Structure 1
Amino acid sequence: MRSRMGMLAVVGLGLCLTSCTQVAKGLRAANLGEDANRLAAAAEKVESCDKLKVEPAIQEEYALGSALAIHWAQQSGGLMLSGASEEKLNAYVNTVGRNLAMQSPRPELSWTFGVLKDAENFNALSAPGGYVFVTRRLLQGVDNEAQLAGVLAHEVAHIVLKHALHQYVSVKVSTCKGAAVTGAVVSTVASKVVGASRADGRLDLDSDTGLMGKMVEGTVDAFGKGNRRDEELAADALAVELLLSAGYDPGEYSLLLGKTTGGGGLLANHPSAKDRREQISRLVEARRNNADPLARVDVASLQRPALPAAFAVVGPVKKSTGVAKDAK
């Protein structure tokens, strides 16, 4: 398996070849030798890889999402589903989450919410196809249902806005270009990705575990680099709309963000908690003062429901361990 730096070098060369396609074709037309022919052929293959930049089919989204969901669960010690108390907690989180998802532009997804056993990391994660998880540690830090709803709404927004799918598409394109630049298809996986670039750009992940594993590995690696600042703010903006639609006070979500240190994620390109809270305040104020009475929000009527008895199973509140992770 190539090193990460090696892959970056290959992809960089691929991008160069893309811009040189016409030059290479000209060299071949001028019959300047076999090297020019090989360069032109590689450039054409690289150019073909851009056909992978299409919206994945819903079956492809579900396949990727389910595999990523299994990965997140395994990395976090599994799901809290042992015994009646944990099952009640899981049912509660699903009720809150699905209510928010039904307010979103993608209510038709098979939305699934769960609590991970991880008691160390203040974390929320999501995967394409409607999978949303929160850690036990995060639940120990929320004060009411509105704060929980804010976290879930933010993850729902990432799925609706297809941020992870955009990263997945980039993985497909880079895999294809890597194979094209080397001049040979070095694996069955690469062969299928290159083949998809010559068809409709979509992959049948369910039919090939090797292909599935490679695409999940690449997407998880892309997740580690984090979402862009504008994507995080966009997810917060949509989360505010979902919260208002469901009758929750977004101010409570803002208070929860204030409990985290160092901003909303692990990387420098994430917006700070201060920036996120200021945006939430502006959005709520705009809805409060909206000239359209149907769009205007009565902030005083927004709800901050208490947590149910089932919540006791998460255990006592712990002191913050630092930056809140927000993996997508």
Structure 2
Amino acid sequence: MKKSILIIALGAVFASSGAYALNLQDMLKDELLKQIEPRQAEPQQTAPSETGNAHGAQDNPAATVLGAFAKTSTEDEIRIGRQIAGDLLGAAPLVPDASLQRYVNQVGRWVALQSDRPDLPWHFGVIDTTDINAFAAPGGYVFVTRGLYQKLNSEAELAGVLAHEISHVVHKDHLKILQQTRLLNLGAQYLGKQAKGQDAVQKLIGSGAEIVARGLDKNAEFAADRMGVVLAARAGYDPYGLPAVLEEIGHTAPNDSRVALLFKTHPAPAERLSMLGEAIGTHFDSLAPGKELKDRFYRIR
């Protein structure tokens, strides 16, 4: 397929990168690892049940949180994502390189601005593990492993990877999985227990490792690949950055422990490339080439 796409000027954005740069070391202190404040339930008029209980969920904090989780407002979504992100960072901390983290946030937030949810409080980071993978959590939390980052060769490839994960957040893919699995099974187990704030959210979502290890439906991954290519294109990058990464990962031996989780939770790279090829076709052939930005790509020291 011909490598071509509309160029979007990025100079002004990166010239004022202070507006978008987020120091994830500060985020660890101020946001990801702080305790989630218990939400104050608003007084509600609840109709009496057939058993005569007029208080309903107000008498049961766990039921209150379960109800809020089912409705999943943006505030709820961010709260859940923050907890999952904290779990992930508890298992594998960020790479201790502030410049790297700022750079990844600059790229990620610029790509996220091209999505249908630009107003989420997007946070990006590189976590310190040799595994080859990337993760997204509800509410705008996106992480790339050091193992995957070190396989990248350009900013366009980074943008493609981040765009794929951004797409999962935009589509609320992990949130849907939580709704489908947790809400079906948690009622009997937790409705009778008293749980507040962070403990309640933790019980509702399980652990960060659990949510990312569960994997998504193949169609969700294919859709995220398609949208990821489009978002990278809108941001002015070469849209073939993500396919290049998939091709590189495909060269990794299936028995390599670094890709064990990735291959378990995602379709095979060859299958993803095939589906992307069919979807993209010649749609980008009439447009000007996008940017690869190999020289600007930040390399881990």
The TM-score, its normalising length taken from structure 1, stands at 0.63
Task: Check conservation: 1:154, 1:235, Cα contact below 8 A.
Answer: yes
For residue 54 of structure 1, report the CA deviation from its aligned partner: 4.5
For residue 108 of structure 1, report the CA deviation from its aligned partner: 0.7
Query: Structure 1 pair 237/259, CA: closer, same or farther in 2 (3 Å)?
Result: same
Q: 2:193 aligns with which of 187, 192, 212?
A: 187
For 1:110-121, list aligned pairs within 5 A. 110-118=121-129, 120-121=130-131
1:149 alignment partner in structure 2? 159
Question: Residues of 1 paired with 2:207 and 2:237: CA distance?
Answer: 37
Question: Residues of 1 paired with 2:67 and 2:73: CA distance?
Answer: 14
Q: 2:86 aligns with which of 70, 73, 86?
A: 70
As a proportion of its length, which structure holds more helix?
1
For residue 266 of structure 1, report the CA deviation from its aligned partner: 2.9
Larger radius of gyration, structure 1 or 2? 1
Aligned: 1:276 with 2:272: yes
Question: Residues of 2 paired with 1:232 and 1:253: CA distance?
Answer: 13
Aligned: 1:98 with 2:109: yes
For residue 172 of structure 1, report the CA deviation from its aligned partner: 3.6
Question: Residues of 1 paired with 2:247 and 2:274: CA distance?
Answer: 11
Query: Structure 1 pair 51/170, CA: closer, same or farther in 2 (3 Å)?
Result: same
For 1:231-250, list aligned pairs within 5 A. 231-250=220-239
Query: Structure 1 pair 54/211, CA: closer, same or farther in 2 (3 Å)?
Result: closer
For 1:53-92, list aligned pairs within 5 A. 54-76=70-92, 78-81=93-96, 86-92=97-103
1:188 counterpart letter in structure 2:
Q
| Residue deviations 1:159-216 (CA, integer Å, cap 9, x gap) | 000011112212442234434xxxx954224xxxxxxxxxxxxxxxxx5222122123
Query: Structure 1 pair 186/177, CA: closer, same or farther in 2 (3 Å)?
Result: closer
1:287 counterpart letter in structure 2:
H
| Residue deviations 1:86-107 (CA, integer Å, cap 9, x gap) | 2221111111101110000000
1:283 counterpart letter in structure 2:
A
Which 4+ stretches in 1 moved above 4 angstroms? Answer: 50-55
The TM-score, its normalising length taken from structure 2, stands at 0.68
| Residue deviations 1:216-243 (CA, integer Å, cap 9, x gap) | 3167534322111011001111101101
Task: Check conservation: 2:246, 2:273, Cα contact below 8 A.
Answer: yes
2:85 counterpart letter in structure 1:
A
Question: Structure 2: any 5+ residue segments left out of the alignment?
Answer: 1-65
Report which stretch shifted further, 155-164 or 238-247: 238-247
1:210 alignment partner in structure 2? 199
Task: Check conservation: 1:251, 1:280, Cα contact below 8 A.
Answer: no
Task: Check conservation: 2:164, 2:227, Cα contact below 8 A.
Answer: yes
2:54 alignment partner in structure 1? none
1:122 alignment partner in structure 2? 132
Question: Residues of 1 paired with 2:109 and 2:70: CA distance?
Answer: 28
2:294 counterpart letter in structure 1:
A
Aligned to 1:250, the other structure's residue is in SS state coil
Aligned to 1:278, the other structure's residue is in SS state helix
Question: Residues of 2 paired with 1:134 and 1:288: CA distance?
Answer: 27
For residue 126 of structure 1, report the CA deviation from its aligned partner: 1.1
Question: Residues of 2 paired with 1:95 and 1:108: CA distance?
Answer: 15
Question: Residues of 1 paired with 2:182 and 2:170: CA distance?
Answer: 20
Q: 1:137 aligns with which of 137, 147, 157?
A: 147
Task: Check conservation: 1:109, 1:129, Cα contact below 8 A.
Answer: yes
For residue 247 of structure 1, report the CA deviation from its aligned partner: 1.6
Aligned to 1:287, the other structure's residue is in SS state coil
2:79 counterpart letter in structure 1:
A
Aligned to 2:263, the other structure's residue is in SS state coil
Question: Residues of 1 paired with 2:124 and 2:211: CA distance?
Answer: 23
Question: Residues of 1 paired with 2:223 and 2:85: CA distance?
Answer: 23
Task: Check conservation: 1:167, 1:219, Cα contact below 8 A.
Answer: no
Question: Residues of 2 paired with 1:53 and 1:217: CA distance?
Answer: 13
Question: Residues of 2 paired with 1:185 and 1:96: CA distance?
Answer: 42
Question: Residues of 2 paired with 1:151 and 1:123: CA distance?
Answer: 10
1:165 alignment partner in structure 2? 175
Q: CA RMSD in A?
A: 2.6
Question: Structure 1: any 5+ residue segments left out of the alignment?
Answer: 1-49, 190-206, 290-296, 316-328
